[in-house]
Amino acid sequence: MLKTFTKFSYMIRLGSKYIKIFKRTHFHPFISQKAGYTQLSRDRQSYSNSVLKRFNIQVELIGNIPKENKMLYAINHRSLLDIIVMESIFSQHNKNGTWIAKEELFNAVYGDFFKYSGCISVDIENRRGLLKFFKQIKQTLLRVNDLNIYIFPEGERYKGQGIKKFQSGASKIAVANKLNVVPVFINENLEKIFKEAPYKSTKTVKVHVGEIIDAKNLEKEYTEFMNKAKEM
């Protein structure tokens, strides 16, 4: 219990410091949208690397992150560490991006972290909100020509075997904006790894990155990629 409290306390305290850093960029009167996303991406990555270092967790990448940008990364969602692990990987490949998150997360206790760090909210229950969201994505991609989209197609964390049925959002975003889709599979033990952190000896998390898959057939092709990754 004490271990869990200490862990969350550290993440919250560090997160509070970074919210102040995010706000400096978010509210900067003269910074361009492109420069803003670049800076916010770097700051999210810095936060994530600090957390992994504190927990003594390292990431082993299996596969290759594409050199090209304006991609949609479709990632399975198992743990609170998922975003942190992915940001650490993106930091090593000089990637700028935005996370797509449900609007309710922006109103949660840690909502300011999402609100000011360059994430984009979506209200999946509101048709008008969905139209506004898709318009925002399109306009942002036009203004920021190196921006990548990061999304959990399942829509929420899933603790079962394999993956939960994908929601339609990821596929629609990719098709509407002509984005290639990069499948990413994070080791299914990550939730357990998070619960047991921090470690005395370095703990390795395996993350698999696949070849480009068809946005119109996203769940089927992602499942095929995931099954192959599990066999490695």
What CATH number corresponds to the domain at position 36?
A: 3.40.1130
- pLDDT level of residue 1 (50, 70, 90 thresholds): low
Alpha carbon distance 36, 39 (integer Å)? 5
Question: Does pLDDT of 129 surpass 60?
Answer: yes
Total domains in the chain come to: 1
* 140: CB partners within 8 A, 6+ apart: 33, 98, 120, 147
153-210: per-residue pLDDT in tens? 999 888 888 899 999 999 999 999 999 999 999 987 888 898 899 999 999 999 999 9
Angle between helices 2-26 and 33-55 (to 10 degrees): 160
Q: Which residue, among 76, 71, 79, has the nearest Cα to 165 in the 3D structure?
A: 76
Residues spanned by the domain of 64: 2-230
> What predicted TM-score, i.e. pTM, was given to this entire model?
0.95
216-229: per-residue pLDDT in tens? 999 999 999 999 99
Min mean pLDDT across 39-43, 47-51, 184-188 is at: 184-188
